[in-house]
Chains A and B, each alone.
Chain A
Amino acid sequence: MIRFQAFVRASIIAILLASSPVFASNAPTVAEPAPVFDPLEGVNRIFFGLNEVVDILIVTPTVTVWNTIIPSPVRDGVSNVFNNLDDVYAGLNHALQGNGTQAAVDFQRVAVNTTIGLGGIFDVGTKMGLQKVYGDFGQTLGVWGASPGPYLVVPLLGPSNLRETVGRGIRIVSDPRTYADPGLSNGLMALELVDNRASTAANEQLISSSSFDKYAFTRSIYMQRRAALVEAGGSRH
């Protein structure tokens, strides 16, 4: 019930934002050469640098330990449990984007994975041909017409933009874990972060080995990826 109220509240905020003149825009969503809107570049670069330090000192060693001591089937299980919760949000967002067909697939995945997949530990849905499709609140705001706004680097969390930050806020207030005991809630978030990072470590490596200005490279990749997700969400009708 709390979650539903939180969601309604969040939806209202989202609608207000989407319809306010600052956000409403007819800008094309395709990632074409237009330079990235980054008015806060100075501050962003500072946070980017800090995040890199945190990454080297804390996150990477933790991920390495995680990958070393936890056997791969257990790691897959953890990923799957988080993905299963994520599918609930993907379904919700696909519904909000007007894509009922995909939402139905997402919820079928949740149903199958939660039951036959033992609480989401096994991704039975994919094996049954129900493919996971990404969906989140930031994407929904984009499909509704909100432009990305300025690029932002969020301390600890990394690349974002105004639209995605609002989306992330909606996700946090609507996530049951937010209202769990703080110890549990923080523990789960840390675990999710480690799980996420463990699966993207290889890409990170590729980025740092092939780029000079990692900040600009990461920014471009992030903004293009988000634009592509919004475009995919908008075209799946």
Chain B
Amino acid sequence: MKRFLSSLILAFFILGHGTLQGHALAPEELVTKLAADMTSVIRNDPALQTGNVPKLSAVAEQTLGMRFDFERITRSAAGRNWNKASAEEKAEMIKQFGKLLIRTYAGAISNLKDLDVRVKGSRVNAPDKDVTVRTEMVGRPQPVAIDYSLGKVGSDWKFYDVTVEGVSLISAYRDEFTAIIGASGVSGLIEQLKAKNAK
């Protein structure tokens, strides 16, 4: 109940007074709110705790779908190959990779049943444009450092990368995508993304 109230207050605070604290603080509050929201959803639903993937994906889609800058993520994961893709291929890549990321996240968030996210602070990379929020996952013997990178899209802050213990998810995908595009082209990558999502 306390958690629900605090996230409600936070949500209200973000909606009503987003600009009051200055823009640099907004991403930190966004991360705090999303973590609190997801934690309470997971902890209140036993089906989610057992790792029910379709259900978890639906939750991830609802909470995070709007918060990811899928275009930027896909563009940067494709790296120098991005310009080799046609407009349709780009759109398809964004769609399929977005789906895959949501699924990946869905698998990870079931861990929130016994872990807590602690927001440690943030680093402003470009004022009002680019911020990295530093957090820690606690609850296991060793805390895990997770940094969320957010960029401003219009008036919203959206995630464009996640760095776990110094490992950037997007860089990892970039190396993988480069290997696949090198071997079987952009169309090959799209096929593989579709096949993975169909599983």
Collect the chain B residues with CB atoms within 8 Å of residue A211's CB. 172, 176
Residue B100 lies at the interface, judged by CB distance under 8 Å to chain A: yes
CB pair B108–A224 under 8 Å, yes or no, is no
Count of A residues near B, CB < 8 Å?
A: 31
* Residues of chain A from 192 to 225 with CB closer than 8 A to chain B in the complex: 202, 205-206, 209-213, 215-217, 219-221, 224-225
CB pair A213–B172 under 8 Å, yes or no, is no
CB pair B103–A31 under 8 Å, yes or no, is no
CB pair A33–B166 under 8 Å, yes or no, is no
* Residues of chain B from 181 to 199 with CB closer than 8 A to chain A in the complex: 192-193, 196
CB pair B196–A206 under 8 Å, yes or no, is no
Count of B residues near A, CB < 8 Å?
A: 25
Q: Which residue of B79, B107, B166, B178 contacts A232 across the interface (Cβ within 8 Å)?
A: B166
In angstroms, Cα B193 to Cα A212, docked, is: 8
Query: What 1/0 flags go to A106-131 for Cβ under 8 Å of B?
Result: 00000000000000000100100000
Main secondary structure of the interface of A (DSSP, over half): helix
Collect the chain B residues with CB atoms within 8 Å of residue A227's CB. 166
* Residues of chain A from 55 to 106 with CB closer than 8 A to chain B in the complex: 76, 79
In angstroms, Cα B193 to Cα A123, docked, is: 44
In angstroms, Cα B171 to Cα A225, docked, is: 11
CB pair A210–B103 under 8 Å, yes or no, is yes
CB pair B166–A228 under 8 Å, yes or no, is yes
Beyond A202-B111, A209-B107, A219-B175, list 19 extra A-B contacts (CB 8 Å).
A31-B166, A33-B79, A36-B175, A76-B141, A123-B141, A206-B104, A210-B104, A211-B176, A212-B176, A212-B192, A212-B193, A216-B175, A216-B178, A216-B179, A220-B171, A221-B167, A224-B168, A224-B171, A232-B166
Q: Could you jot down 18 A-B contacts, CB within 8 Å?
A: A31-B168, A33-B171, A123-B141, A126-B141, A132-B142, A206-B104, A209-B107, A212-B176, A216-B176, A216-B180, A217-B175, A220-B175, A224-B166, A224-B168, A224-B172, A225-B166, A225-B167, A228-B166
